[in-house]
Structure 1
Amino acid sequence: MKFIHTSDWHIGRQFHNVSLLEDQRHVLQQVVAYIKAEEVDALVIAGDIYDRAVPPASAVELLDEIMQTVCIDLGVPIILIPGNHDSAERVGFAAKLMKASGLHIMGNLSDIYEPVVLDAKGCSVAFYGIPYCEPLQVKDNFNQDVKSYDAAHTFLVNEIKDVMSDKHVNVLLSHCFIDGASESDSERPLQIGGADRVSYEPCLDFAYVALGHLHSPQYKGAEHIRYSGSLMKYSFSEQHQKKGVTLVEVNQSGLVAQTHLPLRPLRDMRILEGELDTLLTQGQVDPHYEDYLLVRLTDKHAILDPMSKLRDVYPNVLHLEKPGMLDTKATELQRASLKHSEFDMFQDFYTQIAGENMSDEQKKLVSGLIDRLTQ
C-alpha cells in the first residue's frame, strides 16, 4: 500500500499582507498530480490545514476543491487531524457524514481508539490520529493527572498502543513538537519556553509516524518518525528548505520505503544581499524576478526610496533591511548627540541625505528655526 504524508498547508495564510492563496493552489495541484502518478491509496494530512481557526471563505473554497478532486474524482480517501492553527470543531463538522465520501476527520480525542482501517494490495493499515491538544484537554477527557505536553502525548500514544492489533500495519498521525527537531520562524509556538516538546520514544512501535507542526522536512529519533514539512515556504528562514510531501510504502510486514517528493513553488522565497546598483542590474536578467524577496542592502551611504527602485525590477520585494546604513547612522548620531549642537546634527544629516553641503541661505533658515524652537 502507498500513501502520501503531508501537513501544514496553512490555507489562507498571508505573508507581509500578501495573500498566498494562488501559490497554495499551485502546489496543491502538484499534490493531486502525485496522487495520480503514484497511484496512492490514501492521502494523510497531519494538521494545520488552515492558517487560522476561522479561515476566509476563499480558503474554505480551495480546500473544498482539493478534497472534491481527491475523494470524489479520484476515489482516494483522505485521513486528517486538526493542528494548533485549526479549530477542531469547525474542521470536524459533519465528520461522520463525510466518511461515506472517503474523508476521515479525526478531530476528537475520543477518536484515538478508533483507527481508519484501509485494505489495499494485500495490506491492511490502521491509521490512528492524535489531533493537536493541550494537557488540560487530556486531563479533562481522560481524568488523568497530566501537567506537561510530553506527559499528555505519551499517555495518548500508550492508550493507542494498548488497543492496536498486530493484524494491521499501524500508522500514527500526530500534530506535535518532537524534542530536538528543527523549527522555523513561521511556526506558532505551542507553549512558551520549550514546554511544548514531547518525546519520540513512545512512537517507536509504529510502522510509520506522520507528524505535523514543524515546517522543515525531517525525522527525529528514527527515520520512520517523520515531519513531511509544510507545502511551501512561509518565512524567509525557510529559504533553503526543500519543500514537498512524503510518499510512504508499506506491506504487511511494515515499512518498505519513504520518499521525498518535491513541490515547485509558483514564487520562491529568497533573501538577496548586496549593493542597490548591483541588485538592480541583476534584476534585469533574473528569470525568477517575481519571487518573494527579503533584500539586505550593503550600501554604506543613504539612499532615497530604495524600495520603489527595487520593486521596479523585483515586484515582490516584501521586506527591506539596511544593516550597514543603520549601523553607520546609529554611530554617527550617537557621537553627534554627545559632541554637536542641534544645528550641527541637522547639518550632518542633510549632508548624508542630499550628498552636498547646505547653502548659506539654508543654514540661516535652519539656525533661526532652531533658535525659535529652543527659546
Structure 2
Amino acid sequence: MRFLHTSDWHLGRQFHNISLLEDQRHVLEQLIDIVDDRQVDALLVSGDVYDRSVPPAGAVSLLDDVIHRINTELGVPMLFIAGNHDSAERLGFGARALARSGIHIMGQPGHPPASVALSDDAGEVVFFGLPYADPVTVRHHLGVDVHSHEQAMSALLAQAKEQIAGRRSVVLAHCFVDGGVESESERPLSVGGADRVPPTLFEPFEYAALGHLHAPQSRQWPHVRYSGSLLKYSFSEEKQHKSATLVDMDAQGKCEIEKISLHPLRDMRILEGHFDELLAQGGSDPGKEDYLLIRLLDTHAIHEPMHRLRDVYPNVLHLERPGLLCSGERRETSRERLAVGELPLFEDFYRQMTGEELQPQGQKLVAGILDRLHAGEVD
C-alpha cells in the first residue's frame, strides 16, 4: 500500500495581508503530479485543510479543483480530517455522499471512530480518522470523563484499537506530540503545555499520520510522523524544507518512508545587512520576488527605507531596524537610550533629505528644540 501523507494546507491563508492562494495552487500542482507519477493509492490530509473556520470562496474553489483532479480524474481516494483551524461541521458537509466516490472527510469524533478500509494484494489496511478534538468535545461526543488532551486522545485511540481486528492500521490525528518542534504560525491548542500528548499512544499502529506542527519531523519512532505544512507560513520557518511524505507499507505493516521536496513559487526568507549593500545586491538576487523580512544593521536614519527596498524587492513584508536600538550585544529600548541619539538621528535624516550636512547653526537650533521638548516646554 502506497499513500501520501500531507497536512496543514491552510487554504485561504493570508500573510501580512497578502493572499497566498496563488502560492498554494503552485505547490498543490506539484502534489497532484506526485500522486500521478508515483502511482499513489491514497492521499491523506491530516487536518487544517483551511486556514479558518469560514474559508474564503477562492480557497473552497481551489480545494474543489484539487479534489476533482486527484479523485475524479486520477481515481485516487482522499482522506481528510478536521484540524483546529477547520470548522468540523462545514468541512464535513456532504461527507456521507462523498464517501461513495472515494472522498472521505472525517470532521467530528465518532463512536466508533470513522475509518476507511483500503485493500492491496496483501489484504486490508484500515485508516482511522481522529479529527482535532479538545477534552470538552470528546466528553460531549463519546460520553467519557476526560479532562486533558492526553486523556482525550487516549480515549479516541482506545476505540480505534478495538477496531483493528488483526488488520494493518494507519491513524490520522491532529495534535501536539510531546517533544515536537513548533513554529510561530501554529495556533496554540491550549496554554501552559497542557495540549501535549505522548508519542507512546501511537505505538500500536503501523503508521501515525500527524498534523498540526508545520516542520516535517518524527518523534521517538519513524512511523509517528508530522509531514509538515505545504508552505512556510511564518519567518520562523525560514530554514525548514517543506515536503510531502510518501509511505510504502508492506504485507507485514513495515513502512518505508520517503520525503518528497516541494518547491514554493516564492520562498520566505530573512535578509540582514546594510541598506546600500542590500539595494546593490537586489538586482542580481534570483529570489528577489520572495517574501522577505529585512533587518537593517544601519545605525543612522534612512529616508523611506521600505519604499526604496520594495523597488528592488517587491515582496518585502516586514522591516526591522535593530541597529537603531543596539549597544554592543545588548538591545536597549529605554527613553534615555533614544534621547542620547536624537540629534545624530536628525542629522542623518537631514543628510538623507538634502544631501548636505547640518551646519553648526542648525545643530544648535535643533538641540535647543530637543532640550525644550524634554523639559516639557513644547507641546
Q: Same fold (TM over 0.5)?
A: yes
Q: Distance in 1 between matches of 2:311 and 2:21?
A: 24
Q: Which amino acid aligns with 1:29?
A: E
- After TM superposition, the structure 1 = structure 2 runs for residues 267-286 of structure 1, keeping only pairs within 5 Å, are 267-286=266-285
Q: Distance in 1 between matches of 2:85 and 2:281?
A: 39
Residue 106 of structure 2 contacts residue 129 of structure 2 at CA under 8 Å; is this kept in 1? yes
Q: Distance in 1 between matches of 2:365 and 2:279?
A: 39
Q: Distance in 2 between matches of 1:330 and 1:26?
A: 43
Using the TM superposition, give the Cα deviation of residue 108 of structure 1 relative to its aligned residue in structure 2, in angstroms: 2.0
- After TM superposition, the structure 1 = structure 2 runs for residues 1-375 of structure 1, keeping only pairs within 5 Å, are 1-110=1-110, 112-166=112-166, 168-327=167-326, 334=336, 347-355=343-351, 356-357=357-358, 360=361, 374=377
**Could you give the per-residue CA deviations for residues 251-282 of structure 1, whole angstroms, max 9, x where no partner exists?**
22102311101100000001111111111111
Q: Distance in 2 between matches of 1:186 and 1:278?
A: 30
- Shift of the 331–118 alpha-carbon distance from structure 1 to 2, 3 Å rule, reads closer
The DSSP-based 3-state class of the residue aligned with 1:110 is: coil
Q: Distance in 2 between matches of 1:116 and 1:368?
A: 75
Residue 243 of structure 2 contacts residue 259 of structure 2 at CA under 8 Å; is this kept in 1? yes
Q: Distance in 2 between matches of 1:67 and 1:281?
A: 45
Q: Which amino acid aligns with 1:351?
A: E
**Could you give the per-residue CA deviations for residues 281-307 of structure 1, whole angstroms, max 9, x where no partner exists?**
111111111011111111122211111
- Shift of the 325–96 alpha-carbon distance from structure 1 to 2, 3 Å rule, reads same
Q: Distance in 2 between matches of 1:268 and 1:141?
A: 41
Residue 170 of structure 2 contacts residue 207 of structure 2 at CA under 8 Å; is this kept in 1? yes
Residue 216 of structure 1 contacts residue 227 of structure 1 at CA under 8 Å; is this kept in 2? yes
Residue 350 of structure 1 contacts residue 358 of structure 1 at CA under 8 Å; is this kept in 2? no
Residue 113 of structure 2 contacts residue 130 of structure 2 at CA under 8 Å; is this kept in 1? no
The DSSP-based 3-state class of the residue aligned with 2:31 is: helix
Task: State the TM-score, normalizing by the size of structure 1.
Answer: 0.92
Residue 150 of structure 1 contacts residue 197 of structure 1 at CA under 8 Å; is this kept in 2? yes
Q: Distance in 2 between matches of 1:162 and 1:146?
A: 19
**Higher helix fraction (1 or 2):** 1
Corresponding residue for 2:354? none
Q: Which amino acid aligns with 1:303?
A: I
Residue 51 of structure 1 contacts residue 85 of structure 1 at CA under 8 Å; is this kept in 2? yes
Using the TM superposition, give the Cα deviation of residue 366 of structure 1 relative to its aligned residue in structure 2, in angstroms: 8.7
Residue 111 of structure 1 contacts residue 129 of structure 1 at CA under 8 Å; is this kept in 2? no
Task: State the TM-score, normalizing by the size of structure 2.
Answer: 0.91
Q: Distance in 2 between matches of 1:278 and 1:368?
A: 34
Q: Which amino acid aligns with 1:374?
A: E
Please list every run of 5 or more consecutive structure 1 residues that lacks an aligned counterpart in the other structure. Answer: none
Using the TM superposition, give the Cα deviation of residue 158 of structure 1 relative to its aligned residue in structure 2, in angstroms: 1.4
Q: Distance in 2 between matches of 1:287 and 1:361?
A: 44
The DSSP-based 3-state class of the residue aligned with 2:326 is: helix
Using the TM superposition, give the Cα deviation of residue 44 of structure 1 relative to its aligned residue in structure 2, in angstroms: 0.5
Please list every run of 5 or more consecutive structure 2 residues that lacks an aligned counterpart in the other structure. Answer: 352-356
Using the TM superposition, give the Cα deviation of residue 140 of structure 1 relative to its aligned residue in structure 2, in angstroms: 2.0
Q: How many residues align?
A: 368
**Could you give the per-residue CA deviations for residues 306-362 of structure 1, whole angstroms, max 9, x where no partner exists?**
11121111111111111011336967951575xx8xxxx865542242243356478
Residue 170 of structure 1 contacts residue 207 of structure 1 at CA under 8 Å; is this kept in 2? yes
Q: Which amino acid aligns with 2:306?
A: M
Q: Distance in 2 between matches of 1:172 and 1:99?
A: 18
Q: Distance in 1 between matches of 2:252 and 2:366?
A: 87
Q: Which amino acid aligns with 2:152?
A: A
Q: Distance in 2 between matches of 1:150 and 1:34?
A: 35
More displaced 10-residue stretch of structure 1: 356-365 or 26-35: 356-365
Q: Distance in 2 between matches of 1:237 and 1:22?
A: 21
- Shift of the 235–289 alpha-carbon distance from structure 1 to 2, 3 Å rule, reads same
The DSSP-based 3-state class of the residue aligned with 1:194 is: coil
Residue 113 of structure 2 contacts residue 156 of structure 2 at CA under 8 Å; is this kept in 1? no
Residue 112 of structure 1 contacts residue 130 of structure 1 at CA under 8 Å; is this kept in 2? no
Q: Distance in 1 between matches of 2:169 and 2:120?
A: 14
The DSSP-based 3-state class of the residue aligned with 1:113 is: coil
